Amino acid sequence: MGIGLALFFIFDLDAYISPNTLRNNREWILTQVSEHAVLAALVFMAVYATAVIFSLPTGAILTITGGFAFGQILGTLYAVTSATIGATCLFLIAQTSFGDFLRSKAGPTIKSMQKKFQSNELNYLLMLRLIPIFPFFMVNVVPAFLGVSLRSYIIGTFFGIIPGSFLYVTIGAGVGSIFDQGKSMELKNLLAEEIIAALIGLLVLVSMPVFYRKVKNHKGTIENE
């Protein structure tokens, strides 16, 4: 995973996965989706799943790309499915001998998750997916070290990432109108009602870990009194 991340930046691949790429190649992308819908979807999902496996920092822009190319419904379906496939592959890798390396990357995070997974693995995984308390990579691999079943992992991952994915896809689905006006994907240009709603949703989603920690700390204070 570290090698893949290093190569990603060494070869400047992040320059090819950006809002500018969407704007400059809009017609070509939409033509491929229109004329080769199935192949375009498969390529998109393969790229997305690979990015998740190598833990590349491209999740947000790839999800936005899904909305841009395929619309809200299909974009969400493709993004969620491919992210789940990639995460599941990483989960299975973590159960092999290579898991020792991943375990070292997870560090003390394992201990903080252990009791919660033991009490109710599916509900806790759903919560971790819905409320991004820990980095996505951590939530992908730590369950493998704590004996979480593959079934619970797949279900929790698939359904847990739907809300966040839908918000990013919604932004992607609305950027076409911005490009039509010759504008870039700057915050000041993201003023369409749907995009504003999605941005507010993302703000709430990002704020949830802070709210969760405050509630948890408050609860711990009451129990200690």
Predicted TM-score (pTM) of the model is 0.75
Number of structural domains (the chain) is: 1
Classify residue 185 by burial, with Cβ atoms within 10 Å: 0-12, 13-18, 19+: buried
Query: So what's the pLDDT on residue 202?
Result: 57
pLDDT digits (tens, 9 = 90+) for 140-195: 988 988 889 999 999 999 998 998 898 889 888 877 766 665 555 554 444 454 55
**Tokens, residue 21:** 């790429």
Q: Which residues of the chain have pLDDT under 50?
A: 1-14, 187-191, 193, 221-224
- Structural domain that includes position 130: 2-224
User: What's the residue count for the chain?
Assistant: 225
Q: In whole angstroms, give the CA distance from residue 193 to residue 168.
A: 14
Residue 29: phi and psi, rounded to 5, are -60, -50
